[in-house]
Amino acid sequence: MNNSFLCIGLDPDPEYLPHPHIPSFLQEIVDATSDIACAYKPNLAFFEALGLGGMQTLLESIRSVPKHIPIIADAKRGDIGNTDAFYARALFDIYKFDAATVSAYGGHEGIKPFLDYADRGIFVWCRSSNEGAADIQDLELADGRLMYEAVAEEARSWNSAGNVGLVVGATWPEQLERVRDICPDMPILVPGVGVQEGDLEASVQAAMDRRGEGFLINASRSILYSARNDGYAGAARKTAQKLRNRINVMREAALARR
């Protein structure tokens, strides 16, 4: 889609906003980049923190996203099955998101309510991009596997409908390569290439599947806040276009080396 593997995160941080009205700001970002992005990913935390009208603000903010471009709710929901049934209902039935990020900590019971929506995407939080990820995600299990490897293997077993993917940060390209080895045909959402300074080239090479596809590189702050003045939409477009093109060049180079 749009000759692009770039997913743009919609994370309105009041500290950096160049426009006081969040829906107007994000709609302008979308309008400026909708021919560049392959998906948009609003992080629900930024909207829930706005108070009672937060989710209405989110719905207004994504109103201009073209129907053919999927919207991923970065929600990282995960609980016992009964609770997750309501989480899934909210994200997919009420808010109509095309996909959502989820936590695997509750096991299959917690993920199943999301899996029941076979026409929606589920991205399992596997190896996060933050510095402290190793505290738990690299713990060694009794069988010698690391925790994130076990999560990847479980996610693979849950993918009977072909709608399950994984989230692995660009800040850990070696672990990203390992996850791709475990899940050769599943899509991988890769955050962390912008402000977190993940290795873009290594991540593209590690994340793409045997066809050179199956991955989404997410960037949020580095695109949204490219400029802090009235030219923010144009600046966001230039940054997104440059990143989209860099990803494509790196992908073609990686394919040529195979």
User: 10 Å Cβ neighbour count for 107?
Assistant: 13
What six digits make up the tokens of 252? 């073609």
Residue 62 lies in a domain: yes
The neighbouring-strand residues paired with 71 are 40
Q: Are 155 and 188 in contact (CB under 8 A)?
A: no
Name the residue range of residue 28's domain: 6-257
CATH of the domain at 57: 3.20.20.70
pLDDT per residue over 20-68, tens digit each?
899 999 999 999 999 999 999 999 999 999 999 999 999 999 999 999 9
Tens of each residue's pLDDT in the chain, 258 residues: 789 999 999 999 999 998 889 999 999 999 999 999 999 999 999 999 999 999 999 999 999 999 999 999 999 999 998 999 999 999 999 999 999 999 999 999 999 999 999 999 999 999 998 889 999 999 999 999 999 999 999 999 999 999 999 999 998 899 999 999 999 999 999 998 865 556 899 999 999 999 999 999 999 999 999 998 889 999 999 999 999 999 999 999 999 987
Can you give the length of the chain in residues?
258
Residue 116 lies in a domain: yes
- The answer to whether residue 76 is catalytic is yes
Number of compact structural domains in the chain: 1
Residue 1 lies in a domain: no
Q: Model-level pTM?
A: 0.96
Q: Are 141 and 147 in contact (CB under 8 A)?
A: yes
Contacts of 147 (CB under 8 A, 6+ apart): 136, 137, 138, 139, 140, 141
Q: Are 72 and 81 in contact (CB under 8 A)?
A: no
**Which pLDDT score is estimated for 228?**
86
Considering 67, 76, 112, 242, which one is annotated as catalytic? Answer: 76
Residue 233 lies in a domain: yes
pLDDT per residue over 90-117, tens digit each?
999 999 999 999 999 999 999 999 999 9
